[in-house]
Chains A and B, each alone.
Chain A
Amino acid sequence: MATLTIDRVSRWFGNVVAVNDVTMTIRPGITGLLGPNGAGKSTLIAMLSGFLPPSTGAVTLDETPIWGNSDIYRSIGLVPEREATFEYLTGWEFVLANAQLHGLADPGGATRRALAAVDMEAPAQRRVGEYSKGMRQRVKMASALVHDPSVLLLDEPFNGMDPRQRMQLMRLLRTMGDDGRTVLFSSHILEEVEQLAQHIEVIVAGRHAASGDYREIRRLMTDRPHQYRIRSSDDRGLAAALIADGSVAGVALDGTDGGLNIETTEFLRFAGLLPRVARDAEISLYEVSPADESLESVFSYLIRR
């Protein structure tokens, strides 16, 4: 059983703090590392894979420090985000070279098994440089699996994949998790993470924002106050009618541009309320737009909590 531990870890580059006092434990099974771009996911994965020392705190695998310890790679398989591999090698040669670099007793057999696991036996004789994005991702997976590691780290593995490739990779990762491996993958897309990960760690602006089961995270994200911008034929009348309902937490008249800014705590009830209230008061709605639907705002809500 392999457990990754990040204990009060910060990492800064000059004046920029990339990871800010993060503590988390990653256990066997699939964990999704969720956060917007630039949140510090790659920095965390770099520290977990021994390619960056933490500025403070400790990053360990089963209590062994990861930085500066090349023996740790017997237990870790890494799938980097960058696509570059050894383009001039065939898929078979690439995975075989990885097996040999690990000093495995039977590199040929290990290569065959790894390529079979990612369903890449047929194109293995073609050069990696000719592979599609999905095939590349799978051959990278094979190279990370070739030594049968207990930990698998994947940095944005779904980036640029089409839906079919995505499904295929998800199936593969599920198998890895079911085998009792500790699988950690990063993503900035909530849907990806909740489809795959039993456990989610959310990181925003370098800080650990939330941690837990995907249902919990989902609830946190949908039950937060939603903000809408509304323009209508009678903003003041609409404001008066809306504030009477319990689902509306706040109404503000926009003095400069006109229009209303509404905050609601119950998204579904408000969705039914607004058209009904407008019809009853004979007010025409010109514009209804969510003011904060971007992923960033969802994340920053989580951080403020």
Chain B
Amino acid sequence: MNTTVVRLTARSMLGGRRVLLLAALALLIVVLAVLLRVFADIDQGEAAALLRAVSLGTLLPLFGLIVGTGAIGPEIDDGSIVYLLAKPMSRATIIHSKLVVAVAAMFTFAVVPTVLAALIMVGGSGSLAVALGAGAFAAGAVYSAVFLLLATILRQAVMLGLVYALVWESLVGSVVPGARVLSVQQWALSVAESIAAPGLLSADVALGVAVVLLVGAFAAATWYAGWRLARFTLTGPE
């Protein structure tokens, strides 16, 4: 990890309007929780189902897309990445530093609001908040790494990421049961399920498999992004 890369990435990712968008989305989920707590009488099961759909199902892949691609995509697009790459520093270090920023942003803007919303809706008694927090963190880290990789190797990373987040994770996962084994959301759910009170959440992937896949996907995406960045080329055919 390199502190200068971390600092530059944090400034470019969170300096502009992107941070406002992230904060607004984070606030939305907390406000939703407050409104439901005040105006509707929801039980733990309903709160779990809601957060599962809103946070794990939508917010996390979307945030992962924003922070994962935002950590490196704009610099590759405008060419300023060259100032980071033309340095006596391993390219993997650059990826690690950018990933640290992306995961930290995920934690702040997606994991913390999810935990807060759970606490607001069901109170501090249950284990739901901890369960969802752990699941959200696991999913957030993997999404960050995968989308960072995507932005490193593809110019159309945002489009492709959006298709993955919306089509694969939501649609294919719900229609084709077998596809769920390859869904970050299901892996995260499996982690959350193991922590939450029995019956609150259910996942299609066993915990052991989920943990191996989460760690494996995170490590593989991070390693491959570094490998590809080490082979970054500046000019192509015009």
Say yes or no: B82 contacts A51, CB within 8 Å: yes
In the complex, the answer to whether B78 meets A88 with C-beta atoms within 8 Å is no
List the B side residues contacting A103 at CB < 8 Å: 88-89
Contact (Cβ within 8 A) B82 A80: yes
Report the nearest A residue to B237, measured CB to CB. Answer: A13
A74 contacts chain B at the CB level, 8 A cutoff? yes
Which one of A53, A78, A97 lies within 8 Å of B82 (CB-CB)? A78
Main SS of chain B's interface residues?
loop
Flag if B89 contacts A88 (CB, 8 Å): no
Q: Say how far A173's CB is from chain B's closest CB, in angstroms.
A: 19
CB distance from B19 to the nearest CB of A (A): 12
Contact A51/B85 with A88-B12, A101-B4 known, Cβ cut-off 8 Å: yes
Q: Determine the chain B residues whose CB is within 8 A of the CB of A232 once the complex forms.
A: none
- Asked whether, in the complex, the Cβ of B83 is within 8 Å of the Cβ of A18, the reply is no
A85 to B8, CA, bound (A): 12
Q: Which of A51, A82, A89, A98 has the most CB of B within 10 A?
A: A51
B123 in contact (CB, < 8 A): no
Q: A13-B237, A88-B11 are in contact. Are A101 and B80 (CB under 8 A)?
A: no
Chain B's nearest CB lies how many Å from the CB of A131? 14
A257 close to B (CB within 8 Å) = no
Residue of A nearest to B235 (CB): A46
Contact A50/B12 with A68-B230, A68-B231 known, Cβ cut-off 8 Å: no
> Closest CB-CB distance, B125 to chain A, in whole Å?
45
Question: Could you tell me how many residues of chain A have their Cβ less than 8 Å away from some Cβ of chain B?
Answer: 35
CB <8 Å contact, B89 and A52: no
Number of B positions contacting A (CB below 8 A): 32
Docked CA distance A72–B88 (Å):
7
Hey, which chain B residues are within 8 Å of A13, CB to CB?
236-237
Q: Is A162 an interface residue (CB 8 A)?
A: no
- Contact A43 B235, beta carbon cutoff 8 Å: yes
Chain A residue with the shortest CB-CB distance to B94: A101
Q: Which residue of A lies closest to B74 (CB)?
A: A84
B86 at the interface (CB under 8 A from A): yes
Whether a CB of chain B sits under 8 angstroms from the CB of A265 is no
A sample of 7 inter-chain contacts (CB < 8 A) reads: A13-B237, A49-B234, A51-B234, A72-B88, A73-B88, A88-B11, A143-B83
Name B residues whose Cβ lies closer than 8 Å to a Cβ of A: 2-5, 7-8, 11-12, 15-16, 78-80, 82-91, 230-238
Q: What 6 A-B pairs have minimum CB-CB distances, sorted nearest first?
A: A84-B78, A51-B234, A13-B237, A82-B79, A100-B4, A101-B87
- Given A46-B234, A102-B87, 18 other A-B contacts at CB below 8 A? A14-B237, A16-B237, A18-B235, A49-B86, A49-B234, A50-B86, A51-B234, A53-B233, A68-B231, A70-B85, A76-B86, A84-B80, A88-B11, A89-B8, A97-B4, A97-B83, A100-B3, A103-B89
